[in-house]
Amino acid sequence: MTNISYNLSGRIDPVLVKILRLVQQESDSRGVLFFVVGATARDIVLNHCHAIRSYRQTRDLDIGVEVAGWDEFQQLSGALIANGRFTAGRAPYRLMYGRFPVDIVPYGGVSPDNQTISWPPDHQVVMSIMGFQEAYDYGITVRLSDDPVLDVKVPTIPGMAMMKLISWNDRYPGRSKDAEDLLFLMEHYAEAGNLDRLYEDEVELLQAEEFDQTLAGIRLLGRDLASVTTEATGEVIRAILAAETDEQGRLRLVQDMAQGARLHDRTAELIGKLKKLYEGFSEKFQGMQSA
């Protein structure tokens, strides 16, 4: 029996439900696991699960699929096109449902190192898929429709933060929206179902931050982020956060956060918040390594 974290039936865009139902049908028939990632996952979790309205709505869909190899991925994409509802987009990972872009990114057997993929046939398009497996493994299942039933998996907020950091770093300077999204996740983590944790299980953290719920929540997110990473992914996250909180460095991540959120006069505040994320991450990650 599927463990449903949230029932969102009747609250999700019907077009999105139709698309995901088609993807589920073709994926299930091949035994392929998939989950929703990107801005759609952010909106599902924050807007619909926690009633936190995001500042930027999306009109596209990103999906991760775990496949045995490129043949299986191409069979899945081909089947979606063959059913007449989808057309191929210009990018190798993009399908179009009418005017609705659907990006499907494979992970698993398509990557020899579980870190990057290069798209056939010429392998000129290279993408990072680091963190996809962890985000899926620690994800939650939400019900998007009761009749007929449609259950899909999405990353938790720590899983999203992990993917945002890696994507931002991998594709800099082309992914400033990832920095903007990361800041939004950081600033709203406490109210996204974690206030009871802060006042009960993590009260010492709240006290250390002088009962500033936002800063305590950011530090808690850092700890939870460390909890969902493997050692290899965690080392990458640690290196990114170390570089981007070094005030003698370029502070690229903070600059992208400030630009996206129009907070150029609050750079020092953003540096402080990012340092809290790094502090929480380090507390947990170092403990995991020494255990």
Task: Report which secondary-structure segment, H or E, holds 157.
Answer: helix 157-170
Sequence letter at residue 255? Q
pLDDT digits (tens, 9 = 90+) for 117-148: 999 999 999 999 999 999 999 999 999 999 99
pTM of the model: 0.95
Q: Residues near 68 by Cβ (< 8 Å), separated by ≥ 6? A: 108, 109
Task: Report which secondary-structure segment, H or E, holds 37.
Answer: strand 33-37
Nearest residue to 143 (alpha-carbon basis) of 154, 133, 135, 134: 154
Q: Which residues share a beta bridge with 105?
A: 64
pLDDT digits (tens, 9 = 90+) for 54-72: 877 777 899 999 999 999 9
Nearest residue to 178 (alpha-carbon basis) of 42, 8, 16: 42
Mean pLDDT of the chain: 94
Mean pLDDT of 196-208: 97
* Parallel, antiparallel or unpaired: strands 61-67 and 100-108: parallel
Give, in order, the Cα–Cα distances in Å from 197 to each of 22, 150, 156, 200, 224: 38, 30, 16, 5, 12
Tell me the percentage of the chain whose pLDDT exceeds 70.
97
- pLDDT at residue 286, rounded to an integer: 86
Q: Which residues share a beta bridge with 151?
A: 143
Among 2-6, 28-32, 155-159, 271-275, which stretch is predicted with the lowest mean pLDDT? 2-6
Nearest residue to 230 (alpha-carbon basis) of 154, 128, 132: 132
Q: Which residues of 41-64 are buried (b: 16+ CB within 10 A; e: fewer)?
A: bbbbbbbebbebebeeeeeebbbb
Token pair, residue 79, equals: 């089947």
pLDDT digits (tens, 9 = 90+) for 22-40: 999 999 999 999 999 999 9
- pLDDT at residue 266, rounded to an integer: 86
DSSP E strands in 100-208: the ranges are 100-108, 116-118, 126-128, 140-146, 149-154
3-state secondary structure of 224: helix
- pLDDT at residue 118, rounded to an integer: 95
- pLDDT at residue 35, rounded to an integer: 98
pLDDT at 153 over 90: yes
pLDDT at 112 over 70: yes
- What one-character-per-residue DSSP string does 46-96 give? IIIIH----SS----EEEEEEESSHHHHHHHHHHHHHTTS-EE-SSTTEEE
3-state secondary structure of 116: strand
Token pair, residue 117, equals: 């993929």
- pLDDT at residue 261, rounded to an integer: 64
Q: Are 35 and 136 in contact (CB under 8 A)?
A: yes
CA distance 68 to 46: 32
Q: Which residues share a beta bridge with 62?
A: 37, 103
pLDDT at 6 over 90: yes
- pLDDT at residue 5, rounded to an integer: 96
pLDDT digits (tens, 9 = 90+) for 274-290: 999 999 999 999 878 76
What topology is assigned to 4-155 in CATH? Beta Polymerase; domain 2 (3.30.460)
pLDDT digits (tens, 9 = 90+) for 227-263: 999 999 999 999 999 999 999 999 999 999 998 667 7
Mean pLDDT of 178-187: 95
pLDDT digits (tens, 9 = 90+) for 90-110: 999 999 999 999 999 999 999
Among 114-118, 135-139, 171-175, which stretch is predicted with the lowest mean pLDDT? 171-175
- pLDDT at residue 1, rounded to an integer: 42
Residue spans of the domains in the chain: they are 4-155, 160-290
